[in-house]
Structure formats: C-alpha cells, structure tokens
Structure 1
Amino acid sequence: MGMEWVHDYLKLLGISEKQASTPYLKHLLSAHRHVFPFENIGKLVFHDQASVTEDVEHFLWRYRRYHTGGTCIILNLQFSRLLKALGFQVFFLKPGGDHMALLVLAPETGEPLYVDVGTPIPLLTPLPLNKHRQTHVPLFAGEKVILMAGDQEGEYTYIRTIADRIVDRKWAFSIDRRYYLSDFRDTIRQSYQPDAQYMQQLRCEKWDVRKRRMLSLKNKELTMRTHNGGKIKRSMKSREDLLEVLAETFFLPKLPAKKALDKLEENGHLLWNKDRHISSF
C-alpha cells in the first residue's frame, strides 16, 4: 500500500507535512478534533468490532463516505499511526483501565505529553506531564483538566472539573507501563455489548475551529460551548430536528444517523413521542 495514506490523511486535515515538533503536534491535534468527530453513530450502524482496529486507508475511506470518526480507541489509534509516520514517538496509555490515550514524546526535549483526540472533552492541546506539580489546563466555560503527579514516579491521575467541582471518575495511569493494541481487545469487545454506554445513546462531539466552539450532542440535547465561556443548550423536538443539526450545525450530512436512531429505538432507547401530531377533539 505504501504511505500514500499519510498524504490523504493530512489533506483531509488541511495540513501540510512538516518536521515533527511540539507546535506541529498541537496543530495536528486541533485539526483532527475539527475534522473527525467523536461519535458512536458508526458503532451503532456498522456494529463491526474489526472496524475499530482497521487500517488507516479504511478509516479515511469511511470518513469520506460516511463522515464517521469514532470513539476513543479508533480515533487515538489512527492518530497514533499518523504521528508515527510523521516521525513522532508515540505510546498507548490506558487511563482508568478502559480508555485509550496517547503519550507523545516532545521531539525537542523528550518531555512526555498527554494527547487525546478520542474524548468528548475539548482537549485541544498536548498536556505536559510534570513530575513535581499539577498540570492545570483550562478548557471551556469553567471546565478544567488536571493531571496530578502521584507518589510513585510516572504515575498520574487525570481529573476533570467544572467550576472547581470534580466531574466523572478520576482516571489513574502510569506512563511507564507500555500497552499494545492487543491490551485493548477486551475493552473493544465489551464496548459492543448491548448494555455498553455507547450502544444505548447517541453521541456526537466536534470542535468547530472556525467559530471556536465545542459542539456536543447527547441524545436529544445539543450543547454549544464557546471559548469565552458562553453556553447554549437546545433540545431536539423530533428526529428531523436532530438529523438537521448533524447535517447543518456539525457539517456531517453523510453520517448514517437515521439508521443509528432506528437501531436505538429498536432496542428501547431514545424513543420519540409518536402521538405528538394527534390533535385532541
């Protein structure tokens, strides 16, 4: 196959090939969040565990054909392949025991950087892992990520806060533990079980670089958060409303969202009020 895919990947990101550097990594990360959505629509529709680890050519083909991105493992795995092809040193991390994130060594200094393009959270920059202090990264609207160094060298805890209140569970991880793709097989398999989180809801998250805002769709609720702390919420009243938002607000008109909604409804999730058009006499 050769390495033509590197050219295709960069073309989709709208970025030219450059020498590996930390500013270039930041640029790649932000572009990736803008182009490839964090979404589970492809997961619901294709229901194909092999697609999680498929080759880069297939991943790019699916995006062009269906506007799909994926959830954490697909997105971080493919991004890691691009980074390696561009000369970065990349390793897998397993925060919380079931998430995939990336450890990238800064080309200039070898400093470890935490990178994640597979999260619903607007993490748009590589985070330095400092041994002796916390890395605080303000995100949006009072939201922050804290990477706290542990007592043992190489151990960290990933903490997300909103208005200084901890949300989600804390994710512990070690940068000295080396993981391989095979270490994520169980996580992939479990993520396709009927009771798994992303088999019971509809999610789509995307960074809109032009308007500098984070778009988040969770089931029937759209949240738009801007860089300066603004937040707009909107509830979808119908399937049509939801499909229109994906096509026109997210600019992802090819996403097979109708099929995903059918699948969720079939399994008793995300039901719409069928009799809303019946007028009372």
Structure 2
Amino acid sequence: MDVNAYLARIDLDRPLTPDAAGLRELHRAHQRTVPFENLSIHLGETISLDPGALFDKIVRRRRGGFCYELNGLFALLLEDLGFEVERVGARVHGERLGPPFDHLALLVTAPDGDGPWLADVGFGRHSTDPLDFRRTEPQTDPGGVFTLVDVHGSDDVDVTLDGKPQYRIERRVRALTDFIPTCWWHSTSPDSHFGRAPVCSRLDGDGRVSLSGRTLIRTGGGQRTETVLDTDEQVLAAYRENFGIVLGRVPTPPVRLAPPAPPASPAHHAPSASPPPPDRHAPPATPSPAARHAPPTPPAPPAP
C-alpha cells in the first residue's frame, strides 16, 4: 500500500495522527472524494477484492466502488496508519432483512485504545463521521440521528437512522475474503438490485451529489434538485465534473441470463438463495420502492 498516494487521493496530507480526530478527518475526506458507485457492473468490468486490484481502481484510476471495495480498501489504509480494524458483516434492512455478508462495515480502535468506532464509507448516504460503537443513546451527525440498538437474544447490533433500521451488524470478526461470494452475487446475479441501474454518489458539503441513470441529483440545506441529462455527452461530462471519473462510454444495465460460476474463496457462507432487499445503495431519480439510499427530499430527509 502506497499510503501517501492514498492520502493524496482523498486530499489529505501527512502527518495524520491515528486517533479519534484523525479517524473523523479520514472518514469525511474519503466520502467527499471517493464516490459510492456500481459502474463496473454496467461497464462489464470484473470486480475483484484483491487488495492490489482495489488500490489500482480506487487510487490509481480514481474510481469508486460499492461497500466491499470502499470499506475493504479503507480498512487497509487505517491499519497502515496504526488503527486496529475489525471487519464485520451486516444484513441490510429493507422489505425484509438481507442475507449475511450483504454489507461490509468496520469497527475501528485507535492505538490509544479509544473505540471501537463504527466506520463506514461504503453505504451511500450514511453517517458523515464515525459512530461511537460504545454508545446506546442517539448520536447526532450531519447525516441524521443515528442509534445503535442491541438485538435481543444475540450479540447483533442494529444501526438506525432517524429511527429507521439501516443494517444489522454481526459482531463476529471476518476477513475480506469472506465477502467474495456475496460480492460476486451482487455483481453478477439478475436478482441483485445493483444491476438495475448505474448510480454514483458522494458527500458534497452538507448534502450529496448523485448521478442515478441519467438524472443528476443535488441535495443540501433541505433542498433537492434533479436535472435530466439528455445526451451521452452530458452524462459523461457529469461523471467527469462531479466525481472525477473519466469514462469512454455511458454505463448501461447489463443483459443477464444467468450468473457465471462464482470464484473460489475460503469463505464458508454462500449468498442466500433469496434476493436481498431491492432498495440498498440506490439513489433513484424519482421516489420509488428503491429509495432508501436516495438523497433526501426536503423538509425531512428520508433514509435512502
């Protein structure tokens, strides 16, 4: 890992102290500069969780990714800076609770023992700052009011935003390779919502800027604007100007008959046979059942 190149990618300079304040700075900077996006699925690109492939995509090629990629690489940066990182699986709430390994989140502890903090730069709209994983009372964040709720009869923890459950964390520590099967499923299955439409979104001031299909969405200050982009040239310019992503063609939903064979992995948990909730990570241009990760509409921003 070229830490200096990674820090330059997120517009930060060394030295950066590995403490709670440093983690907060990293967390915000990452969400401002590295977008959540599923464009690889719509460009026919293979998604790999190999650390070298993640670094090449996110740092060298200045792209984004979805949770497994963004939190996967962010964890390596934090460890190189001196933090202790636990990778944990989460099941995303929707019409029903999603399958195990549906989401990757991070529990981070500073070298001085402060923590753990819930860090998540790969869930679309979520907390701007890391959440104190030790606290059960509501935590006010620029992204909303978050509460960590113990699940009765287990060690699991529900993360809620403005009273609405977002995902359920399983406290068992995992390796990044454990998420390979579900990453493959989300990137190849016709049942995965990730293949329905291209989306790209990042933190922008007190709001977000998102490109959902051909609709550019800006939120902030309790306001929301939508601009439909009529031509391919406008779409490609929006990716370039708002996210720093230079593409040769407009991403389009793939035509899928059946997913290819999954990659070999030491993980022992295959994705659930039932598809995950269809509303995760997709900020749509207009309200729909897939709106949990949409940029907020005034006056009260809904959970996207």
After TM superposition, the score normalised by the length of structure 1 is: 0.77
CA RMSD in angstroms comes to 2.7
Q: For the residues of structure 2 that align with 1:238 and 1:145, how far apart are their CA atoms?
A: 39
2:251 pairs with one of 250, 254, 260:
260
For the residues of structure 1 that align with 2:65 and 2:72, how far apart are their CA atoms?
10
Amino acid at match of 1:9: Y
Q: Which residue of 2 aligns with 1:88?
A: 83
SS in 1 for 2:173: coil
3-state SS, counterpart of residue 218 of structure 2: strand
Paired residue total: 247
Name 1:62's counterpart in structure 2: 57
Alpha-carbon distance, 1:107 to partner: 3.6
Of the candidates 201, 204, 212, which is equivalent to residue 218 of structure 1? 212
- Would you say the 8 A contact 2:239–2:246 is kept in 1? no
Q: 1:31 aligns with which of 29, 32, 36?
A: 29
| Structure-2 residue corresponding to 1:199 | 195
Q: Show structure 1 runs of 5+ residues with no match.
A: 268-281
Q: How much has 1:10 moved relative to structure 2?
A: 1.4
Question: Do the aligned partners of residues 64 and 101 (structure 1) sit closer, same or farther apart at CA in structure 2, a change above 3 Å counting?
Answer: closer
Is 2:182 aligned against 1:187? yes
Amino acid at match of 2:214: K
Instruction: Determine if contact 2:88/2:107 at 8 Å carries over to the other structure.
Output: yes
Which whole-Å CA distance do the structure 1 matches of 2:56 and 2:166 have between them? Answer: 35
**Secondary structure of the equivalent of 2:179?**
helix
Larger proportion of helix: 1
Q: What SS does the aligned partner of 1:123 have? A: coil
The separation in 2 between residues aligned to 1:90 and 1:65, in whole angstroms, is: 24
Q: Per the alignment, do residues 17 and 23 of structure 1 end up closer, same or farther by CA in structure 2, a change over 3 Å counting?
A: same
2:239 counterpart letter in structure 1: L
Pairwise CA distance, 1:27? 0.7
Instruction: Return the match for 1:135 from 138, 143, 153.
Output: 138
Matched residue of 2:211: which SS?
strand
- Partners of 2:196 and 2:109 in 1: CA distance: 36
**Identical-pair percentage:** 24
Q: Which residue does the alignment assign to 2:298?
A: none
Q: Which residue does the alignment assign to 2:67?
A: 72
Question: Among 11, 19, 22, which residue is 1:21 paired with?
Answer: 19
Look up the SS of the partner of 1:14 in the other structure.
coil
Match of 2:238 among 234, 245, 248: 245
Query: Cα gap change, 1:218/1:105 in structure 2, threshold over 3 Å: closer, same or farther?
Result: same
Partner of 1:155: 156
CA distance in 2, matches of 1:253, 1:68: 6
> Which protein shows a greater Rg?
1
Contact residue 195 and residue 254 of structure 2 kept, 8 A:
no
**TM-score of the superposition, structure 2-length normalised?**
0.72
The question of 1:111 aligning with 2:107 is answered no
CA distance in 2, matches of 1:81, 1:159: 26
Deviations 1:137-168 (A, max 9, x none): 3444xx4433223345743101234xx6x3xx
Q: C-alpha offsets along residues 170-197 of structure 1, whole Å, 9 cap, x if unaligned?
A: 422233x111223212211211223321
Gaps of 5+ in 2: 92-99, 257-304
Pairwise CA distance, 1:259: 4.7
Give the residue type in structure 2 aligned to 1:12: R
Query: Which residue of structure 2 lines up, in the alignment, with residue 9 of structure 1?
Result: 6
> Does the 8 A contact of 2:218 with 2:225 survive in 1?
yes
